[in-house]
Amino acid sequence: MNQNIKIPFVDLYPQYEELQSEIDFGIRDVITRSDFITGPTVDKFEKSIVEYTGAEACASIGSGTNALVCALKALGIGPGDHVMTVGHTFVSTTEAIVNVGATPLFVDIDEFYHLDTEQMRKVTGSKEFVLPELKAILFVDLYGQTPDIDKINAFAEEYDLKVIEDAAQSFGAEYKGKKVGSLVDLTCFSFNPVKNLGAMGDAGAVTGSKEYIDKVKMYRDHGRKTKFEYETVGYNARIDNLQAVVIQAKLNKIDTWLDKKRQICRKYSKELDAIVRCPKEASWSKHTYYVYVIETPEGTRDDLQEFLKQKGIATNIHYKFPTHKTKAFQKFSHNLERTEYVCENILSLPCYHTLPEHHQNYIINSVKEFYAN
């Protein structure tokens, strides 16, 4: 054991170091103008997201969870409706569905950890499926790449369903050469500090058609259309300008950072794929590797995690429990065989674009050492 090596799971400070002068100037400008919520800073930020993603319109928003809730509301999803989704995700995906009064209909995952498009067909013949109540599909770009969106859109068209993309982990990803953000009815991003494009607090965005984005903007701002016109019951879910400044600065670097991260992840896969199941990049996808997740031989995950901890390597689990197995959502429980197996055997390794090469090698060699014993 090397007592001198400490590798954090994430290291965000180098991002700030690289952009310090630009971020500091932008924050001072916001403070000097006392322009903290909405206004030209946010307008510029939303325009930049539109230009990057190719979407028709963008609504910045207070968090990725706010984005999901406002997107569901904008598409008319509410009490009595069912939404097809996955249990292998961060809890906010299911939380948003339940918080608008709808019911999650869970579908198992495929080899890429995505909503299994073949299972969608099977669910339509199950006792849980009630066609008139199914109104939307909310899929997740888990770990930083998309599922086969064309198949999901075709299924949605067949059953007249709305489609929402939880792209909290996939900003900068591509599907068949197109940036995530313009491929379904509404796409929801998170700019939590640890995400691909991270703020210095909570923040998010929704992209899509102007018709739907106008509704999202209404829901994020207390349900008002103009200053004194309250059209519906909404939320206080606006982004603040300080976060918009930070994200705007990082947006100019995101593709370079992601390319460096991809190189590290592919090195991991080349070295470790014979020992553990490494992430697979789908033919249609340009992966962002939000996290680098290995699937360990059954029953070895916890021991490996402890071994790496003793070696000074921080790891994480994304996610230890499926959403449908948590106390909050167990009433919606389904038998999702692959989801439950995966949650018992996956482990996330440190992977960020500034991870030094000697740390990369140390992590690789430590995993090899564990399985050699």
User: Which tens digits make up the pLDDT trace of 285-314?
Assistant: 999 999 999 999 999 999 999 999 999 999
What is the domain range of residue 203? 14-251
Number of structural domains the chain divides into: 2
Last residue of a domain, one of 199, 230, 251: 251
Residue 7 lies in a domain: no
Residue 221 CA to residue 223 CA, distance in Å, equals 6
Calculate mean pLDDT across residues 19-37: 95
Q: Are residues 247 and 259 in the same domain?
A: no
CATH number at residue 279: 3.90.1150.10
Q: Are residues 367 and 287 in the same domain?
A: yes
* Whole-number pLDDT of residue 81: 95
The answer to whether the CB of 346 falls within 8 A of the CB of 280 is no
| Beta partners for residue 293, in sequence order | 348
* Whole-number pLDDT of residue 263: 98
Residue 83 CA to residue 86 CA, distance in Å, equals 10
Position 126 pLDDT exceeds 70? no
Taking only the tens place, the pLDDT of each residue in 127-182 is 556 677 899 999 999 999 999 999 999 999 988 999 999 999 999 999 999 999 99
Residue 200 CA to residue 192 CA, distance in Å, equals 7
CATH number at residue 146: 3.40.640.10
Q: Give the contacts of 302 (CB within 8 A, at least 6 positions apart).
A: none
Residue 5 lies in a domain: no
Structure tokens at 131: 């066609």
Q: Are residues 245 and 259 in the same domain?
A: no
Residue 43 lies in a domain: yes
| Beta partners for residue 285, in sequence order | 175
Calculate mean pLDDT across residues 209-230: 95
Percent of the chain with pLDDT over 70: 97
pLDDT-derived band at 207 (thresholds 50, 70, 90) equals: very high
Q: Are residues 126 and 244 in the same domain?
A: yes
Residue 80 lies in a domain: yes
Residue 9 lies in a domain: no
Last residue of a domain, one of 230, 251, 272: 251
Residue 224 CA to residue 231 CA, distance in Å, equals 5
Burial of 172 (C-beta count, 10 Å sphere; 0-12/13-18/19+): buried
Calculate mean pLDDT across residues 41-53: 97
Q: Are residues 264 and 197 in the same domain?
A: no
Residue 1 lies in a domain: no
Q: Are residues 222 and 280 in the same domain?
A: no
Q: Are residues 70 and 178 in the same domain?
A: yes
Residue 65 lies in a domain: yes
Q: Are residues 202 and 89 in the same domain?
A: yes
Last residue of a domain, one of 251, 284, 314: 251
* Whole-number pLDDT of residue 334: 77
Q: Are residues 32 and 177 in the same domain?
A: yes
* Whole-number pLDDT of residue 373: 82
Q: Are residues 261 and 193 in the same domain?
A: no
Cα–Cα distance list, 40 to 45, 198, 271, 286 (Å) = 8, 20, 48, 32
Residue 234 CA to residue 16 CA, distance in Å, equals 34
* Whole-number pLDDT of residue 51: 98
Taking only the tens place, the pLDDT of each residue in 249-285 is 999 999 999 999 999 999 999 999 999 999 999 999 9
pLDDT-derived band at 121 (thresholds 50, 70, 90) equals: confident
Q: By C-alpha distance, which of 54, 59, 91, 42 is closest to 188?
A: 59
Residue 125 lies in a domain: yes
Percent of the chain with pLDDT over 90: 91
Q: Are residues 285 and 161 in the same domain?
A: no
Position 43 pLDDT exceeds 80? yes
As a whole number, the mean pLDDT across the chain is: 95
Q: Are residues 131 and 231 in the same domain?
A: yes
Whether pTM > 0.85 for this model: the answer is: yes
Calculate mean pLDDT across residues 83-100: 97
